[in-house]
Structure 1
Amino acid sequence: MLKRAPRPTADRAKVLSQALSQVAGRLEIGPTEIGQIVGVSQPTASRLLHGSYNLKETGKEWELSTHLVRLYRSLFSLVGGDEALARGWLRSANDAFFGQRPIDVIKRIDGLLNVCDYLDTHRARV
């Protein structure tokens, strides 16, 4: 028997929206890049980061946002909580991504998932 997905609630939307906003702030990802990563317009991303927009649980923006939060959590644990180091890693060329910067790679859905998997794999070694 299939489980039903939880009903969308304002509380869940608010929690993920706030988490995404905190991730963006800690990693210094602005509204243009957040919009590109989670698939919303730059104005919507700006409202999201300022707390006047909550993610829609039924859309791709929700799924992509959960993966970005997952990426942050994995990266944070790998760098021992050093946010400056996390920001540096995100914006530095990486041979694992063919010399591309992870911040650029995660602007594609497959790239976001690959970076999450990469970080999770390395975190498992720690």
Structure 2
Amino acid sequence: MFAREVMQASAPAREAAVITKAAVRAAERLGLSARMLAGVLGLSEASVSRMRRGDFALERGSKPFELAVLLVRLFRSLDAITGGDETVAQTWMATDNRALGGRPVERITSISGLTDVLAYLDARRALV
């Protein structure tokens, strides 16, 4: 959706557009490919491509919408910990983490892994 269309849309449509755009931006800043983002959200790569073009918005109440909210939370936590350094965030996502039992980028492709990584970051963020 274009900015003017978003402003004229209903509240749920605006919310869907905002969450969709936030998830796409979070994925980009975390270094996630379209395939990885599709795996996290449980969508096809074609749907992710449409999300990036602004031709598709996640529907409130759907599983992909809820997973996108969690991904945005994960990004915000990691961003706070790394001080906004995308290189550090991307390196952390790609590096094996014994506490998480694998690389975070691989763990977040399952719901349990996504929530585990988010809980880990939230706990670390509390220390900052």
**Common fold: TM-score over 0.5:** yes
Q: State yes or no: 1:39 paired with 2:42.
A: yes
Distance 1:33 1:49 in 2: 14
Specify which of 114, 120, 126 is matched with residue 112 of structure 1: 114
- What residue in structure 1 maps to residue 57 of structure 2? 54
Distance apart, 1:58 and its partner CA: 2.2
Matched, 1:80 2:83: yes
CA distance in structure 1 between the aligned counterparts of 2:39 and 2:21, rounded to whole angstroms: 18
The answer to whether the 8 A contact 1:90-1:102 is kept is yes
Moved beyond 3 Å, runs of 4+: none
More helix by share: 2
Q: TM-score under structure 2 normalisation?
A: 0.89
Q: What's the CA shift string for 1:57-107, capped at 9, x where partnerless?
A: 121001100000000000000011111100000011111122x11000000
RMSD: 1.3
Letter in 1 for 2:105: I
CA distance in 1, matches of 2:77, 2:113: 15
Unaligned runs of 5+ in 1: 1-6
Q: Is the CA contact 1:74–1:120 (under 8 Å) kept in the aligned structure 2?
A: yes
The alpha-carbon deviation at position 50 of structure 1 amounts to 2.3
- Identity rate, percent: 37
Specify the SS of the correspondent of 1:94: coil
